[in-house]
Amino acid sequence: MFQVGIPEPVRPFSCGSEYGDWKMNNCERCAKFTEKPTCELESELALAYFGTGTLSKEISDRLGVRTDTYKWFCKELVRR
């Protein structure tokens, strides 16, 4: 149950395969990508993947999460 006035968490992926595909097409193509997560958004996605599978509304807005597909580009992606 969620409290009034607090946005519900967002589930960006339905399974781990979608997360892996998205990460390969976004994080791993980003100029900020390193072996250890240095991007706050990448870290939040990893925490969601190994935790509840959900993100806060704030983080999902920064990422540009779409609910109709998991094939969207991160709003903060810096192309190499």
DSSP-derived secondary structure for 12-66: --SSHHHHHHHHHHTGGGBTT--SS--SHHHHHHHHHHHTTS-B-HHHHHHHT--
pLDDT of residue 4 exceeding 80: no
Residue 6 covered by a domain: no
Residue 15 covered by a domain: yes
pLDDT, tens digit, for every residue of 30-61?
A: 999 988 878 999 999 999 999 999 999 999 99
Q: For position 38, what pLDDT does the model report?
A: 83
Residue 3 covered by a domain: no
Residue 32 covered by a domain: yes
pTM of the model: 0.83
Residue appearing with tokens 């979608």: 18
Where in the sequence is the domain holding 65, given as residue range(s)?
A: 11-80
* The total number of structural domains that make up the chain: 1
